Each structure stands twice: as C-alpha cells, then as structure tokens.
Chains A and B, each alone.
Chain A
Amino acid sequence: MAINSSDRLSKVYNKYSSVLNTPLLKELKKRPRICEFIFIFSVWTVLAYIFDGSALPYPHEVLYGTWQVLTEGNVWTHISYTFTSTFIAFFITMAIGIVMGISMATNEYGTKLFLPYVVIGLSVPAIAWAAIATLIYGIGIVVPILSAILVMYPIVALIIWKGVEDIDANRIQMSDSFDISRRRMVRRIILPEIAPTLFASSRYGLAVGWKIVTIAEIFAGSRGIGYMIILTFDQFQWSRTWAWAVIFIGIVLFIEYAIFQPLEKRAYKYKEAEMYTAMG
C-alpha cells in the first residue's frame, strides 16, 4: 500500500515537475519577498471578491487611490504631521525609557522608584490613554504625542532594564584593570553590548508609536494619516481609506529596510564572522 501511494506520488511529481521547475518558479523560490507580495495580492483579491469590492476594494483600485492621494497637494502635510508626532513621541519615550531602564538596572533605589510606573503603564490599555488625553487636551498635536509616550515608555524601560542588567561585568572589570576611562568604556563596551536592546526598544517604540499616534489622530485629530483614514471612511471613500493605510505601511517598511536593517547589519558585523570549526 505504501509502495503504491509512493508510486502514485512520484507519478504525480513527474507529471508536474516540468511546471514546478520552470525558470520562473525557480527564480521565485530564490526571492521570498516577491512571493510574499504575490501571496498578499492573491489573498487580497480573493477577499475583495468575497466582499464584493465594497468594504475591501480590489488591489488595483487601492493602488489607483494611492496614486491619486500621492499626487494631491496635501499628502505631505498629513504624512509630516503624523511623522512629527511619532518622532517627537519616540525620542521623548527613548529618553524616559533609557533613564528609567538604566536606573532600575543599576540600583535598587531606581527599581523601587520606577517599577510602579512601569507596572501601571503596562496595565492601562492604549485606547484608554488616547481617550484620557483627548478629554484633557482636546483636538491637537499633544494628544497623539502624549498617548504614544504613555503607551511606549513602560515597555521601552522594561527592555532597557533587562538589557543593561545583562551587561557582562567581566569586561568592565577587565577595562578597570587596564585603567580604561569611563568614556572609552561606554563607547567601546557598554554601547555595543546594549545595541541589541537599543534596536529592540527602538523598533518596538516606533512600531507602537505609529499605531498609537494614528489611533489618537482618529480620536482627536484635525490632520495626519489617522485623521485622513477616518475622514475618507466617513465619506465612504473606501479605496482612499485603504490608500492611506498603504502609504502608512509603505513608510513603516521603508524605515525598517532603509534605516533599521542597514544599521543593524553594521552593528552586528562581528556576528557574521565565520564560527570556528575545529575538529572535535
């Protein structure tokens, strides 16, 4: 029985192998990102068909909508507004998170002082911060910035806390024994050592920052990508709603591939070093 099914399988494989081994498919096997796009667009088209193109327009309609949005004069106003809010929130959060994280990692007083803020920050839902900030400050740029900071800081502080705690004390002791200055130690030991932590917290900070800023703009915005998403949604211009989402995703992907990954590659060059493969 087993031999029969295996025979059947090999017959099926032989029948279709010419198709599977076409130059196009061979090329696609080497390019996962293109496959990813094809997959997303296929699923998207099927879903658009199921929803009759209303709530979820077809990809070509969204792409056309994106083109229209991009060629209109006000697109950069909204993008730069969301960007500004996100980056202001990001830098303030990183500063707060680094100070809190390092304090908690290096002394007990710091842990006792800041841990309650981290726990409280983590337990309040993101949407609650946006609602509270809107109640206090009304419509304006303060709401998205404040909401993003309140959501991001506990996680950034937590990641940095654990990262700094893991610094290898032996290398610090080695530096002390060779009379290395604190400045050189920070540059040559501490920074490379906490680089993975900084990358992780920055990635997380930005990823969450975008989301919260956009949500806050939906709540209480007069400008920005979030505001445009809700505005076009209310006007039933759904292909435009999706177009703004596509622009948003494009920017996030650009930051990941054009900024984070090259920086990371540079910082982790040493990890690419061939591992020693001694016999035994």
Chain B
Amino acid sequence: MQKSNSKIESDLGTRGATGIKTHSLTKEFEVDEGTEVVFEDVNINIEPGSFVSLVGRSGSGKSTLLNILSGILEPTSGRIEYDVDDPEIGHVFQSPRLLPWDTCLENIEYVHEDNSNYSDDIAKKHLDMVGLSDHYDKYPSGLSGGQKQRVGIARAFSIDPEVLLMDEPFSNLDEITAEELRKELAELWENFNKTIVFVTHNITEAIQLSDRILMIGEGEIYADIEVPIDRPRRVEDNEFIEFQTKAIKQFRSVDE
C-alpha cells in the first residue's frame, strides 16, 4: 500500500468518524435445547476515530457482536447509539467476499449503488491506495490472497465510512502477508479519521493495531485494556513483549 498523502486524503476521506455506545446489549439464540445466551448486558463506549479490537476465543460471540454493530443481526435486547444519524459502515470480512465475475474496479463500483458522485477514478484511487494500481481490470482469480484482501479493504474505504468493521481479516493469510497488511492498515487508519472495530483471536495482532482491547468470553466483556505503546509498534521491542505477556495473562483469566 502506498502511504496516503494529503491530496488522496482530501479526495477519499471527508466524512470523518463516529463514536459508538452500546446499552445493555444482549444476544440469545434459540437452539434445540432451549435458549443459548451469547452475551448479556454488554455496555461499551468507543471513542470516534479510535481503533478498538474485540478479542476472544472461537465461539465467544465477538463476530456476533460485530454483526450486531453492523446491523446484519438484531440484538435480543438493548440498543446501539452512534454519534451521527445513520452512519456509513464499511466491512472487511475474513474472506474478502469479492464477486469473482467482476474486475477489481467493478467490485468497488458494486457497493456504490446510491452514490451519484461515484466514478471509476474514485475506485482507481482506492485501489492505488492499497497498492493495486496495476490490477484495475484483473479478476479476483488472478490475484493472491493478500491482494484479494486489499481489494476488500479498498472496497470498505471507498464508501468513506464513519465506522469500519473488520472481522478477522488477516487470519486466512500467511504470516508475512498478514504482517505487511497490518502495517499498512495502521498507516491507513492514522491517515484517515475512521473508527475501526477489529475482531481477532490473535492478541499480538490486537496489540500491534489497537488503542484499546476488549476481551470477550463467557457472555461478557471481561477485560477492557488500553494499549500504552507508541506507534509504530514493533513486536520485537521489550515494551511490546512485556505488554503482550500481561495481556495474554489477562486473556487467560477467563478460564480461572
């Protein structure tokens, strides 16, 4: 990805960010044996423009919470409050969910149904932003896993969202590509004023990227920790390792 300059910023991200508050959010699913509570009475307050990670084990309900924030799922009770009315929400999924019969440009154009200002130039600028300037007319089958995820990120940024919801976007990639994309995402977040909620089960990834880590498990947010490390963060730094050790201990505390 190319580091965004002010010209690109002014063209691509004008909407800013929104804060998110949840009030007594509860989600239950009906199962054969009765009712299964995914989480109960979740109250979180996410500052506008912050990078927050939701960390939890498989089945802890982190993706369910993300899907409720996005509106894909309805909560059983409770409500969500955004600072702005009807905020624009961008999504990046674990698998990029591109349309294989459309080119990279067309994949971005697809999510601009109601945008009268949309032009191919906007899509091209977003693809440039994620380092895919030579791939405008390529089909996803001609891209690597990392490149496909870059198209997914460009697609989410292209709608100029106030909130970006990312559901384990790098977990299907090899570690070197994932590491590269993490750095680039951190740069994009620093250059564009967006609120990011990032779901992962990888503590190291959460520390590298976030301002704040919310640990979810046993139906509740059992830990809410600030990451006090200066950016850019390097996993090999002592400060990082020390914090990681503490965070992992806290992550495991749910089992005790």
Contacts and interface: CB of A to CB of B under 8 A. Distances in A.
A276 B143 contact: yes
A124 to B, nearest CB: 38
A177 interface: yes
B91 A188 contact: no
B3 interface: no
A249 B50 CA distance: 68
B142 A274 contact: yes
Nearest to B137: A273
Nearest to B90: A178
Interface stretch (B92-100, B178-186, B240-248): B92-100
A222 interface: no
A170 B138 CA distance: 22
Given A177-B91, A180-B113, A184-B113, A273 B138 contact: yes
B211 to A, nearest CB: 24
Interface string A39-60: 0000000000000000000000
A270 B102 CA distance: 7
Interface residues of A, number: 23
A180 to B, nearest CB: 6
Nearest to A176: B72
Given A181-B113, A184-B113, A174 B97 contact: yes
A267 B100 CA distance: 12
A189 B89 CA distance: 21
A221 B91 CA distance: 61
Given A188-B102, A192-B99, A270 B91 contact: no
B255 to A, nearest CB: 32
A278 B111 contact: no
A176 B74 CA distance: 13
A64 B111 CA distance: 60
Contact of B159 (A178, A189, A273, A278): A178
A179 B111 CA distance: 8
B111 A178 contact: yes
A167 B160 CA distance: 29
Contacts of A267: 101
B242 to A, nearest CB: 34
Contact of A192 (B93, B101, B111, B147): B101
A192 B101 CA distance: 7
A276 B99 contact: no
A112 interface: no
Contacts of A170: 93, 95, 97
Interface string B118-151: 0000000000000000000011011110010000
A271 interface: yes
Contact of B142 (A177, A269, A273): A273
A171 interface: yes
A77 interface: no
Given A171-B99, A188-B102, A273 B141 contact: yes
A133 to B, nearest CB: 41
A189 B103 CA distance: 14
B108 to A, nearest CB: 11
A174 B89 CA distance: 12
Given A176-B72, A180-B113, A188-B110, A270 B95 contact: no
B143 A174 contact: no
A278 B144 contact: yes
A266 B1 CA distance: 33
Contacts of A178: 91, 110-111, 159
A173 interface: yes
A251 B68 CA distance: 56
B70 interface: yes
Contacts of A177: 70-72, 89, 91
B72 A275 contact: no
A271 B99 CA distance: 12
Contacts of A276: 141-144, 147
Interface string A175-206: 01111110010001100100000000000000
A16 B141 CA distance: 45
A178 to B, nearest CB: 4
Nearest to A274: B142
B110 A180 contact: yes
Contacts of A275: 141-142
Contacts of B71: 177
Nearest to A183: B113
Interface of A: 170-171, 173-174, 176-181, 184, 188-189, 192, 267, 269-271, 273-276, 278
21 contacts: A171-B97, A171-B99, A173-B72, A174-B93, A177-B72, A178-B110, A184-B113, A269-B101, A270-B101, A270-B141, A271-B141, A273-B138, A273-B139, A273-B141, A273-B142, A274-B142, A275-B141, A275-B142, A276-B141, A276-B142, A276-B143
Per CB-CB distance, the 5 closest pairs between chain A and chain B, nearest first, are A273-B139, A174-B97, A178-B111, A273-B142, A270-B139
